[in-house]
Amino acid sequence: MIAIIRVVLIIIAVLLFGFMIFIHEFGHFFSAKLCGIRVNEFAIGMGPKLFHFQKGETNYSLRLLPIGGFCAMEGESGDSDDEHAFNKKPVWQRMIVVIMGAVMNVILGLVLMMILLGQQQMFNSTTVVAFAKNSAFQAAGLEVGDTFVSVDHYRIYGDKDLSFAMATANPSSVDIVVRRGDKTLNFNKVKLNSQKISGKNYVSFDFYVEPIQKNFGTLLSKTVQDTVSVVRLVWYSLISLLTGKFGFNEMAGPVGAADAVGQVITSGLQQNFLAGLNNVIYVMMLFTVNLGVFNLIPFPALDGGKFFLFLIEAVRRKPIKEKYVGVVETVGFAVLMCFMLIVTYSDILRLATGKGLGG
């Protein structure tokens, strides 16, 4: 029975992953249609077509490999004389079209976050309401009523920010800033209690926070707050990767993502079906927000790179020569594919040996 439930949850995860891709491409599609741009093909998946149909000017297709999708617009990758071509539209409309895929992914993240939060009885704040016995936080000088402002210079707006900051902090030396009444207090190089998980020391939460009563208003605000926290987490992780704070071994590609889904399903099923389903929804929420944020990076071949080129065009008030754009996007795509191959190899290596390329 457990095996059947696991298969059902894996199917749900695959469908959610497909919907995540669909919603991204749909963002490009509907914004293109609203701007009067001709869409030649709207496809979910890559590779050979499984089936397709023509409606109006657009061919709709489902393809064999569930690893992406595309919205092929007239004049997107070259000049076209069609008055409805992408290249004939004002630059502000083109900017909207390229960015809407990422926006739709973040909106999907909001919806999935609300589904998860809607099941909770109440929410967590960032205000201390009590301490555990022998609390290192209390010994450092924190008091009941203190509200966290930052941990190791990471700004705290909600409990997800607090959890992330504590998870990445060094327990032997943590800088904490709290608000106490109308004062802001600093506690520098605090040594905290820790617990070892998978060979790494993490800060122990030896305090309790004040609960927030659940109602429609707090559900909405908490949904937005937690989704913004995930967006911040993604940006911070990318910056930390570039600066060397996070190692390459802490990244995951498609293989690592599939493994993560399998792990959370197994973990959830140790409780019940609903826990397994919620774990799948949570991971898919992380994936869709990651996809949206990653696509906004101003790198060639990504939506953010195209947006950046259009921004330059808007400032210059004339388009960049097509041959230069083509070279930049080709090189960018090649670099991106090489990067994905390296990450995938690291994923496989981690599954086989327990360690990725980062050691």
**Residue 41 bears catalytic tag:** no
Closest of 118, 105, 135 to residue 21, by C-alpha: 105
Torsion of CA 9, 10, 11, 12, to 10 degrees: 50
**CB-based contacts of 147, cutoff 8 Å, min separation 6:** 125, 126, 127, 128, 178, 179, 180
| Cβ contact 32:39 at 8 Å | yes
Closest of 26, 21, 27 to residue 46, by C-alpha: 21
- Per annotation, catalytic residue among 25, 57, 83, 210: 25
Q: Kindly provide the b/e burial profile for residues 183-196, where b requires at least 16 CB atoms within 10 angstroms of the residue's own CB.
A: eeeeeeebebbbee
If 0-12 CB within 10 Å is exposed, 13-18 middle and 19+ buried, where does residue 216 land? exposed
Alpha-helical segments (H) within 48-196: 91-117, 136-140, 159-168
**CB-based contacts of 320, cutoff 8 Å, min separation 6:** 309, 312, 313
Torsion of CA 95, 305, 340, 24, to 10 degrees: -10
Q: 50: which 2 tokens?
A: 């499984």
Spatial distance between the Cα atoms of 349 and 357, rounded to a whole number of angstroms = 7
Active site residues: 25
